[in-house]
Amino acid sequence: MNVLMVEPGKAPYETQIGDDLQSMQALVGGYIQAVYPYEEPVALIANESGKLDGLPLNRALRDSDGDIYDIVAGNFFIVGLGESDFTDLPHELAEQFAERFRQPEMFMRVDGKIVAAPMPDEQVQGGMSMGMGYGISEQLLLDEKTGRPLNGNLLDYKMMTMLDTPEIKVDFVELNDPIGPYGNKALGEPPAIPCAPAIRNAVLHATGIAFNENPLTPQKLIDGFRKHGLIAADSR
């Protein structure tokens, strides 16, 4: 049975499960509760005791005015409704509800009200794009005599663009940082750090050749491959 799975801190995804009760209970981690908050022929299946069991808060449910009336705790999934039972969720409805629940949310109390704030995955994607640029294209060239930049413009200084950046899937692990203010931690900077080493290690894993200089431009790769005999010295 095709369903749309929604986990805390993650983007929704389609998956196949058995159409029996045990399979549905395994997906939400306990006894199931079915609610029908939408006009479309779908049901939202969640753990009926998710809040009491302290499961992580997942997504807010909103009324027609956009106000929160409930929050789902723990995993839940969207399934199609047949004449008398649950059935496959059509792909077009899966896409519709994947967009509805696309953005993971975090929750806080403000002036006595629960507020849902979207987890900013774009900030993480931007940090990773910067890290990839540092690893494969960004290089400041300086005149050895004067110290003046030789590529001090965005035409010659090769930053990553949207066309260069691959699709980046972001998942969040919600843990308090013991040394951060109120348990908070940085969001955009940490993803920028491991990208260049990861690219270097990927090249090492694929070729057996270790490069210890950034960025790994095509010319540096060719020179390194020639030096270690991976390609012929006279190849072009």
pLDDT of residue 100: 92
Give CATH for domain 121-196.
Answer: 3.30.365.10
pLDDT of residue 235: 62
One-letter amino acid of 151:
N
Q: How far is CA 133 from CA 34, 130, 174, 200, in A?
A: 46, 5, 27, 13
For the chain, residues classed under CATH 3.30.365.10 are 121-196
What's the helix, strand, coil split of the chain in %, to 5? 25, 20, 50
Tokens of residue 234, six digits:
């006279």
One-letter amino acid of 171:
D
Spatial distance between the Cα atoms of 190 and 160, rounded to a whole number of angstroms: 18
Residue 31 has pLDDT above 90, yes or no: yes
Specify the higher pLDDT residue, 131 or 114.
131
Query: What is the pTM assigned to this prediction?
Result: 0.59
Average pLDDT over residues 187-195: 88
What is the dihedral sign for C-alpha 144, 145, 147, 152?
negative
Residue 224 has pLDDT above 70, yes or no: yes
